[in-house]
Structure 1
């Protein structure tokens, strides 16, 4: 089989070495670093600074140049970009049968803190410059007509060595001079998605960024549901995924940690049962708590116990109704419905015991009105060192770890200052985004001793003064599940 290696192939293992950058006194402060940009050729970035409010500086940062072009990737039989060597060679033979010269390329997804490296293989045809995308499109069309499944790929998105460019927004919030507070927002309801702009406007925030991942695999009407812990004003509105990274906000302090939540229903007859979830769709035999913030009807096909603020059951009903103001609803189906019928009689008391534990300190968080929590996506930096917990956080795929995407990043410095950043991507020739390793290195460069990745891709948004200051990859701001807001004093 003939093979032609593309220029700019995936020399990933060497390009993405997990090297901890040396910590300096300047990095530990909240000042913008004077060192060269940490990605690509490590050039001096162009930057402009705008003072947003006392203690908040916004930087518009640009670095790198565009040298990447396009190729055509042939998909594996399962529809994925890459597969085993034998599968890739079989696909390459199909390309040769179609009269074109394929390249079988080894792709190494780097090891992270909780997952080993992974090697797979891609099949590609051709290499064209940025201005010649139409030629790549023409080749893709030809291969499709030959019965192959293909797509046009911009090489800057691969995760291999690149020169950029990068368009970044960085908000540095100095704990010594900032006098406002931090908060989480789910918008008008948990179930529905909303733009960061809308949430910023509603709370009259100085600044806002999109929060964590939300559930795109549930009913369209419920896709605002956060995938992980969410606390707004001291109320737990979404249960934690045990061990997943999160940002705990209290007043003007922010802490990155991992959380575990437990919710227990306790009937006045002493019977206790685990509540499986909060404000989300149910599965078989589950007991789920719905609060007035849910913004949707409870699921059908079960039993609802409506509970008032004094923990009294005001009534049992067939499920599928709204949660009225001042009420909570315990919904159960299957064996969970049986528990409600036996232990949540009308006028009985059913206490809802809620605990949220910081897994680093092993201490319970007090669910007071000033407590807010935003679930993260992936841990990036811990105690000043790169530590990517992609598997623990449910994002250990090649697409998430290796490929470049728009990123929303959050970090804290040694003195407790807050760093918020968006790296735009998916805009060939304009900005390439970052992979997890690059995102971690970037946050270390900014001075973060703790850092996490929030939701990204088309969700990445930073809003300052009611204006979206970055360039969302969808072309317009996307509605998201939640947001982190910076409020005035």
Structure 2
């Protein structure tokens, strides 16, 4: 009996040791939302980042202003400290540029910011905006002269031109055009949540991901090569696109619009609330407006994150009156380091910085900024979180 008692005691002691040496660490949200935590950060979190430390950009010190500037600020408030990380980019610089990057270079999936930054040879990187389950962008994404996903019309879009940036509301119409006529507006590279006609390009993936009855028109090199009825996902041709009709009415309309052998192309029309005055190189849909014409317009809640009135880690992007692009990451959820800010407080910080237009990006444990190969902020989970997209500063 004593032997079993001693053995049981040793087992309990072993479990206690394992519990304290391997504590449970998890995210606030499930994997389906993309909020996945990494192993200890790579590169490691900087315990004392130097505000003026910049990676090598090729500038001769003192000869020109650097193409971007990183600055850390600590603000003491009655509620506790607030730590802010600002990254400013001169859009007119011929030394560095800005672009959005998705995980794995596709529309689906997640990666750590450090991985995306490394794969892009980035001088600096900041977490991006919001996504649907599995990483599909939450709104407009345009890069490499290709529309990946369209504007929703619900949130502002950051347009990046060769020498400037514009934040504007945007709506986008997409349709199919044959020699004879135009189709009604179609869904483009998005989940088939509703009945209707959907268009999928190769960037969407290998198939349309539709697992219910639907009719497909396979388009290769601008010509319909096949019409397929299926109850499972249909492959997207690498040299064209796939048109999928979900629902009896949509199937009827697709049959009446095109047939095998017919030529068809995708057409788009974009309308913006502010003139772009040039061709944009990339575009990225953000979260809610927080600053318009230098005025704090942050709402009390956001369709992506819910309430904006609580203090939390935050990320935003804005534009100064001189055209400088500004990213800010505010640390939070740590009373000893930084308590975070509410949405309206974030807007106020941007206005103090001289920002005239600004919009929200993803926050919480996703808020992260990398300068060179160092994570300069303190992610609230103590490590990186898997995210679907980011912005990188690259050397031209």
TM-score range, shorter chain: 0.7 to 0.9
Alignment match, 2:361:
454
Superposition pairs of residues 381-420 of structure 1, within 5 angstroms? 381-389=291-299, 394=303, 397=306, 400-420=307-327
Asked whether the 8 Å contact 2:220–2:237 carries over to 1, the reply is no
CA–CA distance in structure 1, aligned partners of residues 205 and 370 of structure 2? 25
3-state SS of paired residue (1:339): helix
Alignment match, 2:266:
352
Alignment of 1:214 onto 2:159: no
Asked whether the 8 Å contact 1:210–1:455 carries over to 2, the reply is yes
Asked whether the 8 Å contact 1:182–1:250 carries over to 2, the reply is no
Moved over 6 A (4+): none
Asked whether the 8 Å contact 1:358–1:364 carries over to 2, the reply is no
Q: TM-score, normalised by structure 2?
A: 0.77
Match of 1:166 among 82, 92, 100: 82
The C-alpha deviation readout for 1:80-115, integer Å capped at 9, x for no partner, is xxxxxxxxxxxxxxxxxxxxxxxxxxxxxxxxxxxx
Aligned length: 333
Match of 1:441 among 342, 348, 356: 348
- Unaligned 5+ segments in structure 2 are 1-48, 58-65
- Unaligned 5+ segments in structure 1 are 1-45, 66-161, 217-222
Match of 1:59 among 71, 75, 78: 71
CA–CA distance in structure 2, aligned partners of residues 295 and 396 of structure 1? 27
Distance of aligned partners of 1:443 and 1:199 in 2 relative to their CA distance in 1, 3 Å threshold: same
Q: CA offset at residue 49 of structure 1?
A: 1.8
Alignment of 1:182 onto 2:98: yes
Distance of aligned partners of 1:469 and 1:321 in 2 relative to their CA distance in 1, 3 Å threshold: farther
Alignment of 1:231 onto 2:142: yes
Distance of aligned partners of 1:426 and 1:189 in 2 relative to their CA distance in 1, 3 Å threshold: same
Asked whether the 8 Å contact 1:183–1:486 carries over to 2, the reply is yes
Asked whether the 8 Å contact 1:182–1:253 carries over to 2, the reply is no
Alignment match, 1:246:
157
Distance of aligned partners of 1:396 and 1:51 in 2 relative to their CA distance in 1, 3 Å threshold: closer
CA–CA distance in structure 1, aligned partners of residues 298 and 375 of structure 2? 29
Alignment match, 1:332:
245
Alignment match, 1:50:
53
Superposition pairs of residues 94-113 of structure 1, within 5 angstroms? none
Q: TM-score, normalised by structure 1?
A: 0.63
Q: CA offset at residue 183 of structure 1?
A: 1.3
**Larger relative CO (CA 8 A, sep 6+): 1 or 2?**
2
Q: CA offset at residue 324 of structure 1?
A: 3.8
Distance of aligned partners of 1:191 and 1:337 in 2 relative to their CA distance in 1, 3 Å threshold: farther
3-state SS of paired residue (1:165): strand
CA–CA distance in structure 2, aligned partners of residues 237 and 401 of structure 1? 29
Asked whether the 8 Å contact 1:196–1:479 carries over to 2, the reply is yes
3-state SS of paired residue (1:346): coil
Alignment match, 2:183:
272
Distance of aligned partners of 1:469 and 1:396 in 2 relative to their CA distance in 1, 3 Å threshold: closer
Distance of aligned partners of 1:480 and 1:166 in 2 relative to their CA distance in 1, 3 Å threshold: same
Q: CA offset at residue 176 of structure 1?
A: 5.5
Superposition pairs of residues 459-470 of structure 1, within 5 angstroms? 459-470=366-377
Q: CA offset at residue 383 of structure 1?
A: 1.1
Alignment match, 2:217:
305
CA–CA distance in structure 1, aligned partners of residues 175 and 244 of structure 2? 13
Structure 1 vs Structure 2 CA RMSD:
2.4
Asked whether the 8 Å contact 1:461–1:470 carries over to 2, the reply is yes
Asked whether the 8 Å contact 1:246–1:257 carries over to 2, the reply is yes
3-state SS of paired residue (2:322): coil
Q: CA offset at residue 195 of structure 1?
A: 2.5
